[in-house]
Amino acid sequence: MDYRTAGVDVAAGRAFVERIRHSVETTRRPEVLGGLGGFGGLCRLPQGLRKPLLVAGTDGVGTKLELAQAHGRHHDVGIDLVAMCVNDVITCGAEPLFFLDYIATGKLSPEAMAEVVEGIADGCRQSGCALLGGETAEMPGFYSPGRYDLAGFCVAVVEEDERIDGSLTRAGDRILAVASSGVHSNGFSLVRSILEASGISATTPLEAGGGPGLIEALLTPTRLYGSLVQALRQARIPLHGMAHITGGGLPENLPRCLPTELHAVIDPHSWERPVLFRWLQEHGEVPEADLWNTFNLGVGYCLVLPAEAVAAALTICREQGHQAWELGRIAAGPAGEQPLQGLPC
């Protein structure tokens, strides 16, 4: 017996590394030392920083992977993986430096795995961070052949005295919502249950009159907000807080960027809920409260800033290609039993 007959193809692994080499190199930053293939990735801190703080975050893509693998959308979940990490670490104003990935699979499919890594590299380029390294583990008998799982890890940097931590937030500040690209990468256990109960196919349209397919809409990659945050900071927009609207929706994530003596009051009528979420609610008969506490409902990221900075911030959002609007305001007093005031449930 040898390693190959046991289910691990070392030669295929080497071919996979060569396939992804160019994609990885396209994400290189000036601070990166060495190249692909070392035991560890090396990265200097950017020059000119006085008191740098490193900010780290790790995440996965969750059960969206099940749907993506069933429909061959490997590149897009690579972007999702980067977005779920980057969108978290930038909430304190940090600039992403580098990213590492971990891919575990039952039997290496070089083509599918290469598409995943090319998607990860795409997400890194959009975020301005280097794909510094990663690991692909072939684990026959643990994962089914052709199935894989993903995890990612991002490190960012911010000046200590420029960190955004909510301490400058005041009653009367405004909350801006920045649109999501869809469900992003949260709530897919519920999504998959709804799809199974509905008996949909790969060609089922999202709306009765035709148009984009439902599966296409569900597998749209998570939107990345790193370049937007950098543009806002370069324009000296006074950001007092930021929140990535991820698992738990607005009720769980928006309060995370606020001091305990303040709470958020949102206007649920300030935007039209995207048709995808209306479809999920209708076909799954999802109660309103569960909808708010599971999905982003069209809000992917939130900015907290003074009222006088709203117009300038909205202009920059539009220039960066993001739809944004005024979602609500900050009020004095703790949130109490409801984490958000104004919810229609």
- Domains of the chain, each with CATH number or no CATH: 10-162 (3.30.1330.10), 174-341 (3.90.650.10)
3-state class of 227 per DSSP? helix
The pairing of beta strand 148-159 with beta strand 95-105: antiparallel
User: What pLDDT, on the 0 to 100 scale, is given for residue 5?
Assistant: 62
User: What pLDDT, on the 0 to 100 scale, is given for residue 18?
Assistant: 74
* Distance of alpha carbon 321 from alpha carbon 41, whole angstroms: 33
Angle in degrees, 0-180, between the axes of helices 74-89 and 110-127, rounded to the nearest 10: 30
**Strands (DSSP E) found in 106-164:** 130-138, 148-159
pTM confidence score: 0.93
- pLDDT mean by block of 10 residues, the chain; 345 residues: 62 70 86 81 93 97 94 95 98 97 90 93 96 91 90 97 96 98 96 89 75 88 98 97 97 96 96 95 94 97 98 98 98 87 86
Q: What is the largest CA-CA distance in the chain?
A: 72
Q: How big is the chain, counted in residues?
A: 345
Residue of 180, 158, 176 whose CA lies nearest to 80: 180
80, two tokens? 């999702």
Residue of 233, 229, 257 whose CA lies nearest to 87: 229
* Distance of alpha carbon 214 from alpha carbon 202, whole angstroms: 8
User: What pLDDT, on the 0 to 100 scale, is given for residue 39?
Assistant: 83
Residue type, 210: G
Residue of 68, 60, 62 whose CA lies nearest to 188: 62
User: What pLDDT, on the 0 to 100 scale, is given for residue 2?
Assistant: 58
User: What pLDDT, on the 0 to 100 scale, is given for residue 211?
Assistant: 66
User: What pLDDT, on the 0 to 100 scale, is given for residue 212?
Assistant: 74
